[in-house]
Amino acid sequence: MEEIKNIRFGCLVKKGRAEVHEMPLAEVKDNQVLVKQLECNICTADYTQWLGLREHNGYPVSGGHEASGIVIKKGRDVVDLEVGDFVAIANNYCGSCEFCRSGRESECKVRASYDEHGIYKGRMGFADYFIRPVTSVIKMNNDLTPGEAAFLEPVATVVKGINKLRLKPFEKVVVIGAGTMGMINAMTVRAYGGEVIVSEMMENKLETAKKAGFTTVDPTKDDAVKKVMEFTDNKGADCVIVAVGNTNANIQAAKMLKKMDGRLLVFAANYPPPQIGITANDIHYRRMEIIGTYLADLKEFLEASKLLNIHKIDVKPLIEKNKYYLDDINEAFKEASSPGKYRVSVLLHKD
């Protein structure tokens, strides 16, 4: 293997500006792997900071956490991965704090420290090479494209929410929003045996949902609550997943739920924060559950890898046709932040 002395990576240096920087490559430790990263998808958190809407992390940000690549070197304590294995990025965690030992790795006490690289902060998904703890990568099937495998993290976050919903086969579920995360929610609910109707206002996203085989409703043209009632034999949905950060969507979701014991999953965030829009009395008298979800733990990453590896969900329609090389990362952010876009992939090598 050719010696790699420096890594090149994309980073945000200010609102609306992404650049490519370099830093020396460290030594691979006993419990680490060196990954030649192939593609990284730009997620909502990435491009909203590029837009200046999530600047609380400061700059420079070496972000990107939806990435995949090939193991090209491993430490001597790595036993379940080999050089040449195709992997995707999962969460960092220490494995020894009280949260990690109880299966709550997303709350790891030192998790944030893994994202500190000198003056840079972030997951380094937009790096051409990066050294990662063996615990933070998961093996993927070679028949997936790098862009598809890079969906491991967003699929894991969806699995976390679906598990919190305690979804049962044949339950009627509404997904509000047919963007990337809305579509993954709809696909995962279907994979777990639920019946899905997708509500979406944008024509191209409605078309994506239809092509994927989902019943759809356009609330700009039809009474979405009435359509849901028709879909559920006038009983209302067992669950509604709100995959857009919008107060009106939250209000509408409560109206779509069945009269008693409905579950509402608040999947999406936004800035400024949307409101739930319902009262405590609504929750009380209807025995309604309002469920929040965020991040994922190791068990969800493993479950997500199975969904992708055995093709129980198909994320190909959620990848934009235009791909950008690392040197053009600023242009990639421009496209990713355009209304109606799905995931835009950054190619980290030209070979």
Where do the domains of the chain lie, and which CATH numbers do they carry? 6-151+315-347 (3.90.180.10), 156-292 (3.40.50.720)
Q: How much is the pLDDT for 54? A: 78
Q: How much is the pLDDT for 2? A: 64
User: pLDDT tens across 176-210, in order?
Assistant: 999 999 999 999 999 999 999 999 999 999 999 99
Q: How much is the pLDDT for 56? A: 74
Is 63:12 a contact under the CB 8 Å cutoff? Answer: yes
Going by pLDDT thresholds of 50, 70 and 90, the confidence category of residue 57 is confident
Mean pLDDT over the full length of the chain = 96
Residues 111, 112, 118, 120, CA torsion sign: positive
The Cβ-side half-sphere exposure at 83, using a 13 Å CA radius, reads 6
Is the pLDDT score of 347 beyond 80?
yes
| Residue percentage of the chain with pLDDT more than 90 | 95
Residues 52, 57, 62, 66, CA torsion sign: negative
User: pLDDT tens across 104-154, in order?
Assistant: 999 999 999 999 999 999 999 999 999 999 999 999 999 999 999 999 999
Question: In angstroms, what is the C-alpha Rg of the chain?
Answer: 21
Is 128:349 a contact under the CB 8 Å cutoff? Answer: yes
**23-39 mean pLDDT:** 97
Interatomic CA distance for residues 85 and 100, integer angstroms: 26
Q: Does the reported pTM lie above 0.85?
A: yes
User: pLDDT tens across 211-268, in order?
Assistant: 999 999 999 999 999 999 999 999 999 999 999 999 999 999 999 999 999 999 999 9
